[in-house]
Amino acid sequence: MVGMTSIVAVSTCLPDTIPIAGFHRELGLTDVQLRRYQRFYGLSEVCRDPQADETRLLLRAVAELAELRGQEQRVRYVVQARTMPAPLPYPRTSLGPIQDELGLRHATGFVVSQHACASGMLAVDLAGTLLAADPDPDALALVLTGEKAGTSHNQSIPDVTVMGEGTAALLVSADRTGRNRMLGYAARTHSRFGDRFIMDDEAAADFQDRYGPGLCEVITAALEEAGCALDDLALVLPHNVNRLSWIGVCRTLGLPLDRVFLDLVPHTGHCFCADPFINLQHACEAGRLRPGDRYLMTSVGLGATFAAMVFEH
C-alpha cells in the first residue's frame, strides 16, 4: 500500500563469480556473441554457487538480516518472489524448510511469480497491503528474492543477459517511519507476450521494440504517483540485465546514465527478482544514498510486466 509500505532492512548473498567466457558455449553463445556481451552489454562474470541449492542461498541472505533476530514473532507473512513458477507442488513449497529453520512456522507463507522478474516489487507491495490491514501495527513481512539458474531454460535470456544466483531478503512494515518508504508504484502487464520465459523470434523482436517505451511508461507513472519528477531522484536502482539497454532508456527519459546504479552489472548478472534489492544494499554501502534522498527501483519480467517503485531513503 503506497504511503504506508516501508522496507525496514535488506540483506543479500552474492556467491563467488565465474567469468561467462568460461561457460559461454553452454549458454549457446558464439565467440562473436560473447564479445558483444562483454563489450557492449557490460557483462563479464556472474555470481553462481553450484554447490548450494535455492533454500541455502536464500537462508544465507536472511542470515545477514540482523534486524530479524529477536523479532521473529512479529513476522506475519513470509513471501517468496520468484521469476519462474515454484518447482514443487503445494504444500511442498520451497518456503517450508526456510520457515522451519528460521522459526517462522507461525507466519503465513506463500509464493508469487505472476510478474516474472518484476515479482519482487509485487511481493513488497502485497506485503505492505496485508500489513496495513493487520491489527498489530508492529507486524512485519519477510520477502525473499533470488533463485537458482539450474536448468538450460533459465541460465540466460538469449541476446539479453546471463542469469546470476544472488539472493536478497528484506523486512517490510506498514510503518511510515521505515528506513525506505514507498511513495509510488506502477506495474503494467502486456499480455500479448503470453507469459513466456522463452519467446520465439517474432515475440522476442516485438518485446525488444516494446521494452524501452514500456519501461519509460511505468517509470513516469510511478513518479506521478509519488508526486516527484525525474530530476528529484538521487539514483535509479535497476534490474541488472545489461548496460546497453539502460543507455537507450536514459536517452529517451533524459536521465544522466551516471544516476543509474550499474556497478554490479559486470559482476552479478541478472539475479531474477533480486536485482533492485541487491542494488539497494550496495548503493547504501557505497554512500550513494543519503537520508531524504528519493530513488527509483525498476524491473521487467518476461511475459511481459514492467514495474517501477519510488522510495524515500
pLDDT tens profile 254-280: 999 999 999 999 999 999 999 999 999
Helices first, then strands: H and E counts in the chain: 8, 13
CB-based contact 108:76 (threshold 8 Å): yes
Rounded CA-CA distance 51/102 in Å is 21
pLDDT at 197: 53
Helix (H, G, I), strand (E, B) or coil at 198: coil
Q: Quick check: 93 pLDDT over 90?
A: no
Cis check for the bond before 158: say yes or no (omega within 30 of 0): no
Q: Quick check: 244 pLDDT over 80?
A: yes
pLDDT at 303: 77
Q: What is the CATH code for 6-173?
A: 3.40.47.10
Q: Quick check: 205 pLDDT over 90?
A: no
| Average pLDDT of every residue of the chain | 90
Backbone angles phi, psi at 8, to 5 degrees: -75, -40
Q: Quick check: 104 pLDDT over 80?
A: yes
pLDDT at 66: 96
Domain regions of the chain by residue span: 6-173, 180-312
Rounded CA-CA distance 176/310 in Å is 14
Contacts of 168 (CB under 8 A, 6+ apart): 10, 11, 12, 13, 61, 120, 144, 145, 146, 271, 274, 277, 278, 281
pLDDT at 122: 97
Cα distances from 12 to residues 66, 143, 145, 222, 286, in angstroms, run 12, 12, 9, 25, 15
Q: What is the CATH code for 180-312?
A: 3.40.47.10
Rounded CA-CA distance 283/306 in Å is 22
| Minimum mean pLDDT range among 193-202, 214-223, 302-311 | 193-202
Q: Fold match between 6-173 and 180-312?
A: yes
Q: Cell 529477536 identifies what position?
A: 70
* Residue 53 CB coordination number (10 Å): 13
Confidence of residue 56 (pLDDT cuts 50, 70, 90): very high
pLDDT tens profile 145-199: 999 987 767 788 877 889 999 999 999 999 876 789 999 999 999 866 555 555 5
Closest residue by Cα to residue 129 from 87, 182, 88, 92? 182
Cis check for the bond before 283: say yes or no (omega within 30 of 0): no
Q: Cell 514443487 identifies what position?
A: 88
